[in-house]
Amino acid sequence: MIPIVLSGGSGTRLWPISRRKFPKQFCEIFNESLQNLTLKRVSTLGNPMLVTGQDLKTLTEIHIKKSEVNVRQVLYEPKSKNTGPAVLVACEWLKSMGHENECVGFFPADHLIQDEEEFLSAVKLAQSVAESGKIVTLGVRPTYPETGYGYIQKTKKSLQEGSEIFGVVQFHEKPNLETAKKFLLTQEYLWNAGIFIGRVKDFLSSFEKFQNDMRSEAKKLKSDLSNLLEVYEKMPNISLDYAIMEKLSVDQLSVVPVDLGWNDVGSWDAVADHFRARGLSSKGTTVLSTGTDHNHFVFSQTGREVALVEVDNLIVVDTADTLLIASKGSSQKVREIVDQLNQKKSKLAEEPTFEDRPWGHFQILKDTEHFKSKVIQVWAKSQISYQSHGKRAEHWIITQGKGEVVLNDQIIPVQAGSHVHIPLGAKHRIRNTTDHTLEFVEVQLGSYFGEDDIVRYSDDYNRAPTKSVANQAEE
């Protein structure tokens, strides 16, 4: 099998940990990112592919490296067009590479599965059915009347006596509570986990039958992906379910009911339930309480102690720039706050106060109108690009490790305690010459502190040369 991991998202449901530029599949809520957990899980089935957005390229490459999984291909979508085009283009590319008759499995990057043995067993059962020409989905047996999931209605009887393979009668949108309770009682309805298994040629023939215009455009895809943007420009924004799954007959689509300890991590309530099942009420902090309040979940990235007095059923999420406090059961409404932030064009919906780079990591300490400060770490034997800034000067104070600064082609050795001034417009870079992390504090002074105020002259990571905002204003 060729596992294909679908990695997208807008970063709204687990805000403020998740942001548009740092969606939930990269969040290390469970000590490792959800995407890496998924890659490791599916890699036992075969070398995986990954489909994600071009704007997540740097994060994707960093996390793949951390996962140590041998990923056969990353397909970077130039535009987000939902799961329909992602699946179609992935299959079309595999066909061009001679894999038309092979089985593929599509797996969301941001779901949590606790029973991996059951997961692998269910996928292999689905694959055995898919090899006969059907498309198969995994349906999670519901444990409570959830209104935030779509449902799959299965046939009352299995397709073969004694087997756990059922036909799919119908897909159902997210129900209201009363309908969800009815679904739970009948035992004919399963949560839609968004996992689908089938042969490449069967996915393609389904698109040809139900979305012929899409398939016609996909056929133009070149095997080197050089015309991927042109193909995507003409693709509709449509989910895989709407595009083909809901149109397949009971003879074409089967479902395997599963109990996987599955969680789509779609809200802070879902995260809280996961930790509660393990006897934990917080992560990353100490919670102080008077003893009369109860049933809280607290998640902290800052390590600050959280004190709760005479309150009940709260979810508290503490980050460097935002504090979220929600009543348990209402965390689905977090996206309404994100909508408000987007209307205000606030950075709080866009990006966290830290950023991973191919060479290391930085954390913003303070961002004001007249200065900005960061703690920057450069990994062993790594260096930042040779660059300059049009609207700011910088002061670097080395706090840990050794290395060298290149300032206008002059090499300056540095170690803990060294200070280097980078004048406005000066070409500069810092490189770590050791096997240990190099850390420094950067203080920026000037009229603009955006990450786009940069001109790159050379770069180890093939990032495109850029123009500073100062130069852009002159042109």
Which residues lie below 8 Å from residue 264, measured CB to CB, with a gap of 6+?
A: 108, 110, 111, 112, 149, 193, 194, 270
- Amino acid present at 334: V
The Cα–Cα gap between 252 and 194 comes to 17
Which parts of 331-459 are beta strand (E)? 354-357, 360-367, 371-378, 386-388, 392-400, 402-407, 410-415, 419-422, 428-432, 438-446, 455-458
| pLDDT value for 159 | 83
Q: Which CATH number is 354-474 given?
A: 2.60.120.10
Amino acid identity, position 109: A
- Determine the pLDDT at residue 11: 73
C-alpha distances (whole Å) from 318 to each of 145, 299, 300, 326 are: 30, 6, 5, 12
**2-263, CATH topology level:** Spore Coat Polysaccharide Biosynthesis Protein SpsA; Chain A (3.90.550)
Task: Please state whether beta strands 314-318 and 306-308 pair in parallel, antiparallel, or not at all (unpaired).
Answer: unpaired
Which three-class secondary structure string do you get for 108-131?
A: ECCCEECCHHHHHHHHHHHHHHHC
CB of 81 within 8 A of CB of 237?
yes
Question: Residue 52 is which amino acid?
Answer: T
Per DSSP, 83 falls in state H
Domain ranges, ordered by start, for the chain: 2-263, 280-333, 354-474
SS3 category, 329: coil
User: Which residue, 22, 12, 94, 11, is CA-closest to 352?
Assistant: 22
Rounded to an integer, what is the distance from CA 449 to the centroid of its chain? 27
Residues 6+ apart with CB under 8 A from 224: none
pLDDT at residue number 161:
74
pTM for this structure? 0.90
Question: What's the confidence (pLDDT) of residue 468?
Answer: 52
- At 316 the pLDDT is 96
Question: What is the model's pLDDT at position 31?
Answer: 86
Q: What is the 3 state secondary structure string of 408-428?
A: CCEEEEEECCCEEEECCCCCE
Compute mean pLDDT per 10 residues along the chain, 475 residues long, and list them. 92 91 93 95 96 94 94 94 96 96 97 94 96 96 91 90 88 94 94 97 97 96 94 95 94 94 91 91 89 85 92 94 95 93 94 93 95 98 96 98 97 98 98 98 96 92 64 43
